[in-house]
Structure 1
Amino acid sequence: MNADSSQNQSKMATRVRNFLIAIAAITLSVAIFLGLQTQAPATSLTQMAEESVPLEVALSNGKPTLVEFYANWCTSCQAMAADLGELKQAYAEPLNFVMLNVDNTKWLPEMTRYRVDGIPHFVFLDNQGETVAQTIGEQPKSVMAANLDALIAGLPLPHAQTTGVASSVSPTRSPLQASQVEPRSHGTPIE
C-alpha cells in the first residue's frame, strides 16, 4: 500500500502543480492583456494640436515660438509627444507652441517655406517671428529644453540644425492635387 499511496501523492502533487501553472498563466495573460489596453499614449498629438497656439497668434504676440510639423501616423512624432507635452507645460508662459499637421493642405505654404521634408520638423522662431533654427526628427527632451531656454533668452541655440529619426514627407503637391488624395493614403494620389 505504500507504493499505491506514494503513487497517489505523486499524481496529486502533479495535479496541484499543473493547476498552479494554469492559474499563473491565466493571471499573466490577463495582466498582459490589460497592460496592452492601457498603453495608449498619455499625450495625444491631436489633443496637443487642438490646445496649441494658432500660428497667426504666435506670429503676432511677441513671444518666441516653437513650431512642430507633425502627422498622427508619424511614429517619431508619437514617440516625442509625452516629452513635448511636459515641455509645453513647463514653458507655456514665455513661449508659443504651434503644431501644424502636414496632412492638412492648409499648411502647404508653411511646409514649403520651412522646407519640411521629414517629420517631426521643428522651427524655432524669435519673438519677431523670424526663423532662428530648425531641427528634424526625434530629439531628446534635454536637447529640446536647452534649445527652448536659449530661444527664450535670445541666445544662439546650442543644438541647432540637429537631425534625429524622422518620417519623410513630400510637400510638393499643389492644393488642387492634394484634394484628389484619399485621406488615409498619406499623399498617394487616387488613380
Structure 2
Amino acid sequence: MNPNPSESPTNNRFRNILLALVAIALGISLFFSSQTQTSANSLETQAQQSTALEVALSNGKPTLTEFYADWCNTCQAMAEDLAAVKQKYQDSVNFVMLNVDNTKWLPEILRYQVDGIPHFVFINQTGEAIAEAIGEQPRPILEANLDALIAQNALPYANSTGQVSQVERSISAAKNSKDDPRSHSAQVQ
C-alpha cells in the first residue's frame, strides 16, 4: 500500500510528463536563441551587410577589407568581435568582406597578395591600401588601427605597405649603361 495517497501512480506519471515537456520547451528555446545570436554575427550575415568594394573605394571613407572563408576557424572565432567593431565604427569606416573561395575576387586576392586568412587590408579615404594585418586580431588591436585609420595616422598594429620603387627597372637599365658605376662592365679611365 501507498502511505501517501497524493503520490498515486497517476500523479507521478503526470508530474514526469509535465517535467519532460518543460525540459523540452526550455531546450528548444535555448537552441533557437543561440541560433539567432550566432546567425546575426555569422560571417555570411556580415558579408551580406558589408559595403560593396566599388562603393567603398569611391565614397571618401576609409575602409577595412577582410579576406575570409566560411571554413576558416579563425575567421569564425573573430566574427562576434568584428560584428561589435562594425557596429561601433559603421558611420566612419566602410567594412568590405571578400570570400577567398569566390573566384570573382581573384584579382583582389592577387593585388593585395593574400596568402593567409583572415587578411585585413586598411585602405585610406582616397582608396589607397596603406597597411595590412594577417591572422587573428584582438578587438582592442582592431579598434586602435581603425582609430588611427580614421585620424589618418600611422596604424600602430599593422604592417605598412605604402608605395614602393620599381627597383628592377632601375637595375636593369643601369646594367646596360657603360657609364654607370654599378655596371661591372664599366672601365675606369
TM-score class normalised by the smaller sequence: 0.5 to 0.7
What pairs up with 1:81-100 in 2 under 5 angstroms? 81-100=79-98
> Is the contact between residue 136 and residue 161 of structure 1 (CA under 8 Å) also seen in structure 2?
no
Root mean square deviation, CA, Å: 2.9
Separation (CA, whole Å) in 1 of partners of 2:43 and 2:86 = 13
Question: Which residue of the partner structure matches residue 180 of structure 1?
Answer: none
Q: Report what 1:129 is aligned to.
A: 127
Structure 1 residue 32, shift from structure 2 partner: 8.0
- AA aligned to 2:95 is F
Note the C-alpha offset of 1:94.
Answer: 1.0
> How far is 1:132 from its partner?
1.2
Letter of the aligned partner of 1:134 in structure 2? E
Matches within 5 A, 1:95-174: 95-161=93-159
Deviation for aligned residue 1:161:
2.7
What is the one-letter code of the residue matched to 2:129? T
TM-score (norm 2): 0.66
Structure 1 segments unaligned to the other structure (5+ residues) = 1-26, 163-191
User: Could you tell me how far apart the structure 2 residues matched to 1:78 and 1:161 are?
Assistant: 23
Percent identity over the alignment?
Answer: 57
| CA deviation string 1:114-167 (max 9, x = no partner) | 1111111000000011111100111100000000000000000010139xxxxx
Deviating runs (4+, > 6 A) in structure 1?
Answer: 27-34
**Gapped runs of 5+ residues in structure 2?**
1-21, 161-189
Question: Residues 137, 29 of structure 1: CA spacing in aligned structure 2 closer, same or farther, 3 A cutoff?
Answer: farther
Is the Cα–Cα contact under 8 Å of residues 69 and 120 in structure 1 kept in the other structure? yes
Could you tell me how far 1:73 is from its partner in structure 2?
Answer: 1.1
Paired with 1:64 and 1:83, the residues of 2 have a C-alpha distance of 19
Q: Across the two proteins, how many residue pairs are aligned to each other?
A: 156
Does the alignment pair 1:53 with 2:75? no
